[in-house]
Chain A
Amino acid sequence: MSDTQELILEAKHVTKRYPVSGGRTLTACRDVSLHFYRGRTLGIVGESGCGKSTFLRMVASLEKPDEGEILYRGQDLAKLKGEKLRQHRQKIQMVFQDPAAAFSPKMKVMDIICEPLLNFKRIKRSEKEAAARKFLEMVELPGEFALRYPHHMSGGQRQRIGIARALTLEPELILCDEATSSLDVSVQKTITELLVKLQREKQIAYGFVCHDVALVQSLAHQVAVMYLGNVMEILPGDQAASGCVHPYTKALIGSVFDLHMDFQKPIESMDDEAPSPFDMLSGCPFQSRCPRCMEICRRERPALKEIGEGHLAACHLAAQGETE
């Protein structure tokens, strides 16, 4: 299926480590390889601390990978510097989790939206209000909001401003880091609808990081599941509910409270917590919590292997063709 799609950005074996006190290192991302295609959404799910936000920050060139490379249309982002890097930033924009913290409280909405345009000299100062109104309309807000301050708006309205700001430079890729997580469900739904509508109109690629598996699988073409910095499984969004094979993905989905679930059945959950991300053991990162851990899992780290069309899993069970 990837033959017909236009590849925008490719992460190849990206690893990021942070030094921590006591001479230890924290491996936030380990050997992550993911692809972003034009007009498609890559969803990334996982528990807190699994490295999903770190990965997004590397894609946005806010952090540099220690190993591996991130290629934007064939060009290694780590090698970009100065003005070239600045020009490149127009192509990839970001929407943050907390829309209240993402804006300067002293700036009016029109200044917030038009700041990127002015930075890259795409409009003149005199055109600011008209430009702001145009983008407000795009995110389905009234044009008068241009003169307001962010604290005069609700959370959902502010998140729309965040999206409007990300749209101004006509990026090819928008990265959403828990962009809907702080919103109420009904608002979350309208924001999701807006994102999907914009994607259809402009063929934007999204990187959508979220801890809500149910939401991610409802809007992503591809879902990547991360655990302690490792990609455990990559699968098409429409198969996430039924087609997952990795025990971690199953555990993650099993612990989702669903309105259509069988309420008599006790909720599944893993009993212990994720192990410390510091000193990585050899073998599979999920071995300590996996209900089907085998001898080989303790020795050897499973590689991501294709097990179906657009479906990859890093699990020895899946590699042996023994998934149920």
Chain B
Amino acid sequence: MLSIREISVAYGNNPVPAVENFSLEMKRGEIVSIVGESGSGKTSVIRAVLGCLPGGGQVSRGNISFEGRLMSELGKEEWQRLRGTEISMIFQDSGAMLNPVRRIGSQYVEYIRTHEKISRRAAWEKGARMLEQMRLPDGEHIMRSYPFQLSGGMRQRVGIAMAMTFQPKLLLADEPTSALDVTTQAQIVRQMLKLREEYHTGIIMVTHNLGVAAYMADRILVMKEGHIVDAGTREQILNHPSSAYTRNLLDSVPAMGGYRFV
């Protein structure tokens, strides 16, 4: 479905690329986690897939293709058709993605009607139904709320509901649980796994939380300073990491009942 071939991402005039020689092949319904510390280039990779690199970033080498089509050759309108319908993204804080002075419903309806020719009423109902599917109680009520009236976990669910409206084939998740409490994080992770069961959605999960990455993923990529240092199935990475960096990373994660400092 998605094929990333040896891409490099560079920002502005910076001669050192943020990502170098990154390759990834993904099938439908597969979940791949990209883990790494801050500045390792993991976010740049998924932003490159969606063609929305910030601040003068561009794919300087290699190519990305989605269902056989080269992304670099897509026109503006084709991009518009693809984004938000076939490929969608959720961010660390979906509250920041929403306009704070408009109600959720008005933004949701606008989004649906950008991609589909349906009436306002039908779009509203579709939105409310999606929200309820994401286990938000009373979708109608949420549609009439402003983003700041919802808790972080609820906003994140609104973000996921919006991203899943058109049942995308690929969902890009950029640290979707990092700003949440552990209990809410567990709820969101369960929700995302259900997406694969129900819609056969492929997910690229970018996170620095190795526990979440391991729980969700079929395959894990470990990145460091723009390079893949380790790649493999969950069992390979956790039990037989090939690089010292991954080993050190795994050792640093505190575990319940594990190593104690005192």
Contact = CB atoms under 8 A, between A and B. Distances in A.
Interface of A: 41, 47-48, 155, 184-189, 192-193, 196, 199, 211-215, 217-221, 237-238, 240-242, 251-261, 263, 266-271, 273
Nearest to B235: A263
Contact of B257 (A48, A219, A241, A254): A241
Interface string B175-207: 000000111111101100000000000000000
Nearest to A199: B262
B261 A193 contact: yes
Given A185-B37, A218-B258, A269-B186, A259 B211 contact: yes
Contacts, number: 121
Contact of B256 (A41, A217, A273): A217
A294 B44 CA distance: 51
Given A185-B249, A266-B190, A255 B208 contact: no
Nearest to A39: B262
Nearest to B248: A186
Given A185-B208, A237-B260, A267 B215 contact: yes
Interface of B: 37-38, 135, 151-154, 181-187, 189-190, 208-212, 214-215, 234, 238, 248-262
B223 to A, nearest CB: 12
B262 A252 contact: no
28 contacts: A47-B181, A47-B184, A48-B181, A185-B249, A186-B249, A189-B251, A196-B261, A196-B262, A199-B262, A211-B182, A212-B254, A213-B182, A218-B255, A218-B259, A220-B262, A238-B260, A242-B257, A252-B183, A253-B256, A257-B185, A257-B209, A257-B212, A258-B256, A259-B211, A259-B250, A266-B190, A273-B153, A273-B154
Contact of B181 (A185, A211, A271): A211
Contacts of B234: 263
A55 B218 CA distance: 42
Nearest to B180: A48
Contacts of A267: 186, 189-190, 215
A85 to B, nearest CB: 32
A55 to B, nearest CB: 17
Given A186-B37, A255-B183, A257-B209, A219 B262 contact: yes
A237 B262 contact: yes
State the 5 A-B residue pairs at the shortest beta-carbon distance, nearest first.
A257-B211, A241-B257, A269-B186, A255-B186, A184-B37
Nearest to A182: B38
Contacts of A221: 262
Contacts of A273: 151, 153-154, 184
B260 A218 contact: yes
Contacts of B152: 48
B260 A219 contact: yes
B256 A186 contact: no
B215 to A, nearest CB: 5
A266 B214 CA distance: 13
B215 A257 contact: yes
A184 B182 contact: no
Nearest to B137: A272
A190 to B, nearest CB: 9
Contacts of B262: 41, 196, 199, 219-221, 237
